[in-house]
Amino acid sequence: MSSIKIPKPDELISIRYTSPKTEWMDTPVDFRPGTWSYSGAPKNLTSLDMPNPRIWQPSDEDWKLPPNWQEIILDGMKERLEKYRSFRLFMDICVRCGACADKCHFYIGSGDPKNMPVLRAELLRSVYRRYFTTAGKRFGRLAGARDLTVDVLKEWFYYFYQCTECRRCSVFCPYGIDQAEITIIGRELLNLVGCNINWVMEPVANCFRTGNHLGIQPGGIKDMLEFMADDIEDRTGVRVDVPINKKGADILFVTPSGDYFADPGTFTCMGYMMLFHEIGLNYTFSTYASEGGNFGLFTSHDMVKRLNAKIYAEAKRLGVKWILGGECGHMWRVIHQYMDTMNGPADFLQEPVSPITGTRFENARSTKMVHIVEFTADLIRNGKLKLASRRNDHLKLTFHDSCNPARSMGLLEEPRYIIKNTCNNFYEMAEDTIREKTFCCGAGAGLGNDENMEMRMRGGMPRAMAVREVVKKYGVNRLACICAIDRATLTSLMDYWVPGVTVMGVHELLGNALMMTGEKERTTDLRGDPIGG
Amino acid sequence: MNLLISIIVVSGLVLLAAGIAASHTASYALTVVAPYLVFVVFLGGFIYRIVKWAKSPVPFRIPTTCGQEKTLPWIKNNPVENPSGFWGVFGRMAQEIFLFRSLFRNTEVKIIDGRPIYGSAKWLWFFGLLFHGSLLIIILRHLRFFTEPIIPCVNALSAVDGFLEIGVPALYLSDVALLAGLTFLFLRRVIIPQVRYISLFTDYFSLLLICGIAVTGLLMRHFFPADLNEIKTLAMSWIIFSPVVPQNISVVFYIHLCFVFTLMAWFPFSKLMHMGGVFMSPTRNLANNSRMLRHINPWNAPVKVHTYEEYEDEFRDKMKTACLPVEKE
């Protein structure tokens, strides 16, 4: 936790959904500590050839913008209106019915009307109208238009970095207007004049150079994976291989670096390694493509492509047949909806077929990348794994659908299938908070930093409260998810709102239950906690 | 403030219409020139907007998925909420357009006992659908003024619409429904503080304008009966391109016409274009099949990447120390 004080849970929950007395166009943004993120460090911008690297903070009066910043932004808007139908359409067709308003976790948690997706979008629409529509040019404010001023830019920054691109609003919008799309473009525009946050820019810069967000160098990756192999041996008595950069492997495995960097992600990673060992999969990790996640998505479309390019490039270099991807949320938005379009066609790979079951993953026949829960669910279904679900009897589990797998893929049943086969105590949260209506952890899209903690706790509140209900009802003590950001951020969220609930990946659950050939009798789970009821 | 201006503008239109009724030249402009002008602006504007949207490509396949995707054969997928092909998308769009599927999901959040509760909130869906449905019926009913002989199904529609036979002439259900829908949407916008906070002039104005059209229409039908033959003669004269200035037509009709023309001329340049836009929304009208079929981005341009060679050049020694294979020794 940072030194910025955040309110206690019982203070924070007294949220008033009232609007300020002044109209929203006359209410300037207040950079209150705990609700925004530090600026991108110049070294990171420089290493990525991004504009206007400088030392500044959002709380500064002077943001040191380039002299022609308005022109840059407006040209950028024009270009994007011509490149993205989504953007042009979403600028035009909103009727302000307000159905999206109380669907946003940041609005529910803060009560700030500018966190209603409709109003967050109006921040940008008002400028669009002023410069790109006849009515806005002629009638100004009456047409809902306003000038692009420094105050407006600051407002954009504050609120576009208070949106986690979770797409929940888009589920409820009668026209499917997606605030994620508006936020992505809004952040692109901000990036044109060098306004970004370090918790995004540092991972991006790291990923570009070292292959992963955390900046781990090749030797470090090997050490971490070896260390996990030691832990696996300690718990199970089985020594698993750690293939890295191996040419001639059948499958390239790519997972978010969070999975091999810190607990509780590491336990999930151990689960993957145990599984691959047990089924005798000929796979490899890569140090060059050592990141499944893609913080480019929180920067710009171009940056998504720049970072994502490594996955296909590495698959080609290593000569694998297809690619398998670990548990991660926004990573899968990129892989599912962007990768093939941006960096394909992957015609040097083969249509994915499970070497164990022979199942053809037809749904991935073009992109040639399979989600690990699809892969594992197929193994279980075909009876290829021996599972002792009683080893998870010390857990009472609930499952958090991560935003992107839920709303940008529809990967809902596979993780549940694995859970039901590996755990005897599984309880769903309330209907309005799962599947396509799932609530964000409150810290996705690059907002999971400590200085933004109050906003994270506010944004995560709806998720946390849904967990609290199943804790009360069923005594749930473990929250499972298939997202590396979740594994990190939900941990803080639970500590704040629902102490006593810990977070795990689905493949940690699998690792606990997986009966391995030659294993010793297990007395602890992968965390070293005693197993059994 | 936005509400006040909307009321002033709508009142201004009433006065304008009254003025037009009093002047022969102005009547000529309204009944002979304006119909064509307005029609051209409406149609041209509508097409212009659609073309403008269509000219911006859809670089990425970004449907919002609201159900299980099509993956392994034994996992039951949701072919409509998460379509994987044309017919799924067709079903999804049909539900969206005719049944307001997404709005049906609406909930309302309240903090009760220190936690958020998501209550059902179907009223917006109900009245929204009521409003749009009845508006469509009313527009179709008006075809009786523009066809001779009247298209049979239009007559049938009118008969069904007025089947309760309350009053003479019979009260149309769609008129009642439209007013109910409008009243709800308007009151909601004025009363709920959050909705009022986000409302612009255009939001009030559209409602008031359509309300004005409905009220003047009802007045002509039930209170100040308009000469329907005269109106039909006028409407048909537009169709055959020999418009005539009508005689003995009430001021109410002039107001009605003024409202309608304003609405039509304004339509393409306002939020009402959601009517066309809803068909084009990429989060709804695309199949979720981006891993099965490659979606093409027409402007996909090369970007600067960090190649493996550059990576190995920087880390070769470290990789060798860690016994990791390298391309160049």
What does the pLDDT read at residue B96?
96
Residues 38-77 of B with CB under 8 A from A: 49, 52-62, 64-72, 74-77
> Do A191 and A279 have their domain in common?
no
Those residues whose C-beta lies under 8 Å from the C-beta of residue B130, and which sit 6 or more positions away, are: B177, B178, B180, B181
Q: How many other C-beta atoms are found inside a 10 Å radius of the C-beta of residue B205?
A: 23
Q: How many other C-beta atoms are found inside a 10 Å radius of the C-beta of residue B115?
A: 16
> Do A274 and A139 have their domain in common?
no
What does the pLDDT read at residue A1?
44
Q: Pairing between strand A251-254 and A283-284?
A: parallel
Domain boundaries, chain B: 2-321
Q: Least CA distance to A438: which residue of chain B?
A: B66
> Do A114 and A263 have their domain in common?
no
Of A239-243, A397-401, A424-428, B232-236, where does mean pLDDT reach its minimum?
Answer: B232-236
Q: How many other C-beta atoms are found inside a 10 Å radius of the C-beta of residue A369?
A: 26
Q: How many other C-beta atoms are found inside a 10 Å radius of the C-beta of residue A59?
A: 13
> Do A404 and A445 have their domain in common?
yes
**Per-residue pLDDT tens digits for A37-54:** 999 999 999 999 999 999
> Do A484 and A456 have their domain in common?
yes
Radius of gyration (Cα) for chain B, nearest Å?
A: 28
- Alpha carbon B237 to chain centroid distance? 30
Give the DSSP H/E element, type plus range, for residue B124: helix B123-141
Main-chain phi, psi angles of A128, to 5 degrees: -55, -45
User: Do the Cβ atoms of A340 and B56 come within 8 Å?
Assistant: no
A103 contacts in B (CB within 8 Å)?
107
Mean residue pLDDT of chain A comes to 96
Those residues whose C-beta lies under 8 Å from the C-beta of residue A287, and which sit 6 or more positions away, are: A211, A217, A218, A221, A222, A244, A245, B315, B319, B324
Tokens of A201: 């820019």
> Do A229 and A189 have their domain in common?
no
A442: closest CA among A164, A117, A181?
A164
> Do A224 and A133 have their domain in common?
no
Residue A297 in domain:
yes
pLDDT at residue A524 above 60?
yes
Q: Residue count of chain A, please give it.
A: 533
Query: Which residue segment(s) compose the domain that A463 sits in?
Result: 205-513
The SS3 assignment for B123 reads helix
Tokens of A365: 């026949």
Does residue B28 contact residue B245 with C-beta atoms inside 8 Å?
Answer: yes
Residue A253 in domain:
yes
**Rounded Cα distance, A240 and B212, in Å:** 76
Main-chain phi, psi angles of B8, to 5 degrees: -60, -45
> Do A171 and A273 have their domain in common?
no
**Per-residue pLDDT tens digits for A303-344:** 999 999 999 999 999 999 999 999 999 999 999 999 999 999
> Do A366 and A278 have their domain in common?
yes
What does the pLDDT read at residue B329?
82
Annotate B223-283 with DSSP letters as a single string: IS---HHHHHHHHHHHHTT-----SS--HHHHHHHHHHHHHHHHGGGSGGGHHHHGGG-TT
User: Do the Cβ atoms of A465 and B53 come within 8 Å?
Assistant: no
pLDDT at residue A523 above 60?
yes
> Do A230 and A163 have their domain in common?
no
A286: closest CA among B329, B306, B319, B313?
B319
A187: closest CA among A95, A80, A83, A85?
A80
**Per-residue pLDDT tens digits for A151-187:** 999 999 999 999 999 999 999 999 999 999 999 999 9
**Rounded Cα distance, A423 and B185, in Å:** 48
Residues of chain A with pLDDT > 70: what percent? 99
Residue type, A144: G
Q: Pairing between strand A283-284 and A478-481?
A: unpaired
Those residues whose C-beta lies under 8 Å from the C-beta of residue A36, and which sit 6 or more positions away, are: A58, A59, A157, A158, A161, A162, A451, A452, A455
> Do A216 and A189 have their domain in common?
no
Main-chain phi, psi angles of A324, to 5 degrees: -120, 140
Main-chain phi, psi angles of B112, to 5 degrees: -125, 130
Residue type, A459: G
Q: Pairing between strand A502-505 and A478-481?
A: parallel
> Which residue in this structure is represented by tokens 């304003």?
B262
CA distances for A204 relative to A67, A100, A291, A327, B164, angstroms: 27, 31, 11, 19, 67
Nearest to A337 among B199, B290, B296 (CB): B290
Q: Least CA distance to B128: which residue of chain A?
A: A97
Nearest to B281 among A89, A116, A364 (CB): A89
**Residue B265 near chain A (CB below 8 Å):** no
Those residues whose C-beta lies under 8 Å from the C-beta of residue B161, and which sit 6 or more positions away, are: B137, B141, B172, B173, B174
B306: closest CA among A278, A296, A16, A460?
A296
Tokens of A198: 């370090």
Q: At what angle do helices A69-83 and A179-192 cross, to 10 degrees?
A: 140
B244: closest CA among B24, B52, B66?
B24
Residue type, A6: I
B97: closest CA among B140, B139, B52, B128?
B128
Does residue B286 contact residue B89 with C-beta atoms inside 8 Å?
Answer: yes
**Rounded Cα distance, B155 and A216, in Å:** 75
- Label residue A21 exposed, middle or buried (CB < 10 Å: 0-12, 13-18, 19+): exposed
**Rounded Cα distance, A415 and A328, in Å:** 12
How many separate domains does chain A show?
A: 2
Main-chain phi, psi angles of A495, to 5 degrees: -55, -35
User: Do the Cβ atoms of A134 and B269 come within 8 Å?
Assistant: yes
Nearest to B82 among A81, A247, A410 (CB): A410
What does the pLDDT read at residue A31?
95
The SS3 assignment for A267 reads helix
> Do A209 and A354 have their domain in common?
yes
CA distances for A44 relative to A157, A395, B271, angstroms: 19, 42, 41
E strands, chain B, are: 107-112, 115-120
**Residue B320 near chain A (CB below 8 Å):** no
CATH topology of domain B2-321: Fumarate Reductase Cytochrome B subunit (1.20.950)
For chain B, the farthest-separated pair of C-alpha atoms sits apart, in whole angstroms, at: 99
A130: closest CA among A106, A156, A148, A157?
A148
**Residue B278 near chain A (CB below 8 Å):** yes
User: Do the Cβ atoms of A174 and B278 come within 8 Å?
Assistant: yes
The minimum CA-CA distance between B222 and chain A, rounded to whole Å, is 32
**Rounded Cα distance, A508 and A223, in Å:** 20
Residue A350 in domain:
yes
Does residue A156 contact residue A190 with C-beta atoms inside 8 Å?
Answer: yes
Query: Region A212-237: what's the mean pLDDT?
Result: 96
The full 3-state SS of A351-397, as one line of letters, equals CCECCCCCCECHHHCCCCEEEHHHHHHHHHHCCCCCECHHHHCCCCE
pTM of the model: 0.95
Radius of gyration (Cα) for chain A, nearest Å?
A: 23
Residue A525 in domain:
no
> Which residue in this structure is represented by tokens 């991004």?
A50
- Alpha carbon A84 to chain centroid distance? 23
Does residue A180 contact residue A223 with C-beta atoms inside 8 Å?
Answer: no
Interface test with A, best of B49, B106, B194 (most A CBs within 10 A): B194
The minimum CA-CA distance between B82 and chain A, rounded to whole Å, is 7
Tokens of A364: 């991935």
The complex's ipTM works out to 0.95
**If you count residue pairs, one on A and one on B, with CB atoms under 8 Å apart, how many are there?**
309
pLDDT per residue, tens digit, chain B (329 aa), is 889 999 999 999 999 988 988 888 888 888 899 999 999 999 999 999 999 999 999 999 999 999 999 999 999 999 999 999 999 999 999 999 999 999 999 999 999 988 999 998 999 999 999 999 999 999 999 999 998 888 889 989 988 998 888 887 889 999 999 999 999 999 999 999 999 999 999 999 999 999 999 999 999 999 988 888 889 999 999 999 988 888 888 899 999 999 999 999 999 999 999 999 999 999 999 999 999 999 999 999 999 999 999 999 999 999 999 999 999 98
State the pLDDT confidence band at A3, using cuts at 50, 70 and 90. Answer: low
B186: left (phi over 0), alpha (psi -120 to 50) or beta: alpha
Does residue B102 contact residue A171 with C-beta atoms inside 8 Å?
Answer: yes
